[in-house]
């Protein structure tokens, strides 16, 4: 009863606002609301992570004797797995991939539970020490908030998709206090086309979320970076070389994660997955305590010029041996396995934090190696650790601008824009030589479900097979004679007739053009049968075919109409070129409107 009353009030409000508030103004109001709710979701997630970590931190003084590091992350992924499996009952992993899928195949519709489920699951996982980040879950949460607020006010699907982008931008801006990075992330990673109609709502959500985050957690940058050395032009070759190295490390991270996730899928039993993930995670954290949690403490140590960098090895077998380069290099190799084991074992987390962590370590190790190989280089390892963070972010996400602006806003290192851009661009160009899509997009690209900035591909992806299938064709059977066929033609408005057997399978097609010369000769009505008159269609379509495959079949056959079958091979209807062109034009107009 209460739900009905709420629905009635919303319907009344929607009718009122159509007469009193313009569509563009209302979208800006909704983007503001999305920014507010998304920012509070980010604040709640960070508070939950800190609270859970605080509950267990009494026994987490890192030392050689501390075996709690082995236990708590395992408990975290176990509890998170139980929550996802028995309460959420839905897959909430790969948050950004789910957003891309919602944009390309679901018109921006995201399930309501995603507004809270990722927050709870990732807080348990990360708060207990899982080796992943909180950013992808909060991006999915923000997008779900935008989607469901839009659905509540009955917004059309184009606006719904924009509000999904507003939620993502607000999530990045809120959790990182980085409004520019939030906007750029949506344009680069979610592949929104920039127009004034989309730019203003995205900016409103980003700025709103960042402002609220400033109010509750202060205006200080996430990492307190103070450059002890100005970036000298003589170090440009080293920055360019670091960009290439970051691109190769990004490639290693992306490909290894994809391979390890695929390897985990062989285990169908979730408890077996948990056991394998728990063993991998425990062993790696025991050997390399830096892998515990998001890794932001390690980043803070390596960026601080006053901190002894050897302290990052505390609690490990390497501590006191002076082998920091070996230790950090092994951590770089091991991080991808720890992150994948966390998620595959039942946890929930993203790759933002692992990317920043790996980038910091890669830049630091690179700087140390260059200083040892060329003592005159006098490279600031802290500066290069900062550049490495931008490089890995750019390479893993295929988003060079996001890498630059996010690191500048995270650290306050705006004076380093030139080297940040150099490293980011080189990293992106390097990984693009080997891998055309980001770690988020590769899964969808393999299935042909990825929306890109390519307008034609995006339009075809947004078109639905269901909307172009025509079912008003009158069917005939192979046993019917010409006279019965003519009677059917007289009742039909189409010039094509599917021939179906007793099981509703398509066995052929009769076209009006092919029988025009005999259809009025009554002496032939009982001499010719449909079985003799029918022809095989040049190709058949499936209800699950993506629209680019449909268009390819039309191009290859030169046909104007092609039959469609369901998963069981039963006849469904026809698709015509004219119907596709009309649908294509309508979607293109919607995409092009500001």
**pLDDT tens profile 77-86:** 999 999 999 9
Q: Which residue has the tokens 């604040």?
A: 43
Task: Dump pLDDT digits (tens) for 49-91.
Answer: 988 888 877 655 444 445 666 788 999 999 999 999 999 988 8
Whether 145 and 272 share a structural domain: no
387 and 411, same domain (yes or no): yes
584 and 484 share one domain: yes
Give CB contacts under 8 A, 24+ apart, made by 15-23: 23/159
- d(C-alpha 395, C-alpha 390), whole Å: 9
* Same domain, residue pair 462 and 444: no
Would you say residue 193 lies in a domain? Answer: yes
H or E segment to which residue 541 belongs: strand 541-542
Query: Residue 185: which domain range?
Result: 2-217
Average of per-residue pLDDT across 17-22: 79
The pLDDT value given to residue 238: 92
Is position 110 within any domain?
yes
Q: Please check whether residues 79 and 175 belong to one and the same domain.
A: yes
Q: What is the pLDDT of residue 155?
A: 84
Distance CA 354, CA 339 (A): 7
Output the pLDDT for position 62: 45
Whether 510 and 559 share a structural domain: yes
- Residue 222: inside a domain: no
Q: Is residue 453 part of a domain?
A: no
**Domain final position from 186, 217, 248:** 217
- Cα(549)–Cα(540) distance, rounded to whole angstroms? 11
3-state secondary structure 354-398: HHHHHHHHHHHHHHHHHHHHCHHHCCCHHHHHHHHHHHHHHHHHC
Q: Is there a single domain that holds both residue 42 and residue 82?
A: yes
| Boundary (domain end) residue, out of 448, 471, 487 | 448
Mean pLDDT, residues 329-358 taken together: 92
Q: What is the pLDDT of residue 227?
A: 66
CATH assignment at residue 142: 1.10.3080.10
Closest CA to 142 of 58, 208, 240: 208
Interval 205-223 mean pLDDT? 88
C-alpha 442/C-alpha 438 separation (Å) is 6
Output DSSP code: residue 503: T
Query: Do residues 159 and 45 share a domain?
Result: yes
Cβ 353 vs Cβ 363: under 8 Å: no
Pick from 153-167, 226-240, 405-419, 455-469 the range whose average pLDDT is largest: 153-167
Is residue 276 domain-shared with residue 252, that is, in the same domain?
yes
Helical H segments across 435-576, by residue range: 442-447, 455-462, 465-468, 482-491, 512-515, 530-533, 547-557
For residue 346, count CB atoms less than 10 angstroms from its CB and return exposed for 0-12, middle for 13-18, buried for 19 or more.
buried
Question: Do 327 and 432 share a structural domain?
Answer: yes
Residue 226 within any structural domain of the chain: no
Is residue 372 one of the residues assigned to a domain? yes
pLDDT at 19 over 60: yes
Mean pLDDT (whole number) for 322-349? 91
- How sure is the predictor about 275, in pLDDT bands with cuts at 50, 70 and 90? very high
Q: Per the structure, how many domains does the chain have?
A: 3
Domain boundary among 394, 422, 448: 448
Q: What is the CATH number of the domain that holds 470?
A: 3.10.580.10
Are 481 and 528 in contact by the 8 Å Cβ rule? The answer is: yes
Q: What's the gap between Cα 150 and its chain centre?
A: 20
Residue with tokens 């999305």: 34
Tokens at residue 305, please? 């010029």
Residue 426 has pLDDT above 80, yes or no: yes
Pair 8, 115 in one domain: yes
| Interatomic CA distance for residues 186 and 162, integer angstroms | 10
CA 342 to chain centre: 19
Return the closest-CA partner of residue 32 out of 175, 184, 169, 194: 169
Range with lowest mean pLDDT among 24-38, 127-141, 178-192 = 178-192
353 shares a domain with 484? no
Average pLDDT, the chain: 84
């Amino acid at each position: 009863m209460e739900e009905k009353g709420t629905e009635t009030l919303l319907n009344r409000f929607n009718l009122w606002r159509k007469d009193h508030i313009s569509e563009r103004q209302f979208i800006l109001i909704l983007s503001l609301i999305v920014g507010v709710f998304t920012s509070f979701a980010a604040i709640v997630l960070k508070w939950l992570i800190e609270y859970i970590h605080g509950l267990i931190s009494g026994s987490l003084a890192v030392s050689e004797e501390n075996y709690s590091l082995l236990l708590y992350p395992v408990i975290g992924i176990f509890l998170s797995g139980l929550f996802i499996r028995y309460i959420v009952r839905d897959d909430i992993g790969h948050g950004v991939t789910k957003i891309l899928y919602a944009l390309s195949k679901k018109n921006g519709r995201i399930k309501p539970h995603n507004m809270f489920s990722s927050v709870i699951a990732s807080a348990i996982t990360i708060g207990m020490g899982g080796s992943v980040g909180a950013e992808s879950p909060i991006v999915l949460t923000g997008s779900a908030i935008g989607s469901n607020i839009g659905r509540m006010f009955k917004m059309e699907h184009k606006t719904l998709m924009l509000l999904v982008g507003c939620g993502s931008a607000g999530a990045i801006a809120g959790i990182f206090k980085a409004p520019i990075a939030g906007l750029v992330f949506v344009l680069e990673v979610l592949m929104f086309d920039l127009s004034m109609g989309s730019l203003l709502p995205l900016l409103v959500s980003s700025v709103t979320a960042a402002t609220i985050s400033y109010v509750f957690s202060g205006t200080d940058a996430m990492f307190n970076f103070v450059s002890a050395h100005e970036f000298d032009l003589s170090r440009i070759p080293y920055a360019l070389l670091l960009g290439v190295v970051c691109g190769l490390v990004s490639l290693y991270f992306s490909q290894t994660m994809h391979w390890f996730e695929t390897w985990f899928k062989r285990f169908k039993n979730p408890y077996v997955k948990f056991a394998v993930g728990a063993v991998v995670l425990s062993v790696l954290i025991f050997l390399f305590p830096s892998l515990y949690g998001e890794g932001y403490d390690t980043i803070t140590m390596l960026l601080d010029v006053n901190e002894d960098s050897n302290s990052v090895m505390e609690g490990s077998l390497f501590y006191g041996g002076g082998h920091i380069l070996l230790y950090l290099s092994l951590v770089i190799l091991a991080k991808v396995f720890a992150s994948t084991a966390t998620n595959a074992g039942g946890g929930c987390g993203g790759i933002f934090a692992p990317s920043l962590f790996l980038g910091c370590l890669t830049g630091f190790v690179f700087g140390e190696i260059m200083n040892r190989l060329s003592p005159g280089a006098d490279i600031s390892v802290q500066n290069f650790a900062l550049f490495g963070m931008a490089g890995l972010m750019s390479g893993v996400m295929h988003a060079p601008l996001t890498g630059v602006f996010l690191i500048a806003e995270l650290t306050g290192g705006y004076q380093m824009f030139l080297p940040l851009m150099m490293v980011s661009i080189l990293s992106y160009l390097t990984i693009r030589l080997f891998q055309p899509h980001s770690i988020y997009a590769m899964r969808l690209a393999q299935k042909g479900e990825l929306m890109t900035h390519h307008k034609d591909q995006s339009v075809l992806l947004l078109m639905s097979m269901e909307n172009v299938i025509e079912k008003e064709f009158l069917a005939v059977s192979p046993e019917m004679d010409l006279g019965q066929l003519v009677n059917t033609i007289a009742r039909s408005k189409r010039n094509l007739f599917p021939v179906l057997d007793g099981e509703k399978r398509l066995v052929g097609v009769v076209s009006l053009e092919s029988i025009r010369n005999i259809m009025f000769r009554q002496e032939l009505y009982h001499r010719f049968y449909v079985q003799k008159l029918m022809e095989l269609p040049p190709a058949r379509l499936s209800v699950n075919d993506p629209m680019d495959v449909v268009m390819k079949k039309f191009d290859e056959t030169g046909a104007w109409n092609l039959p469609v079958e369901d998963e069981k091979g039963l006849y469904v209807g026809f698709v015509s070129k004219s119907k596709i062109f009309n649908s294509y034009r309508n979607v293109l107009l919607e995409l092009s409107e500001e």
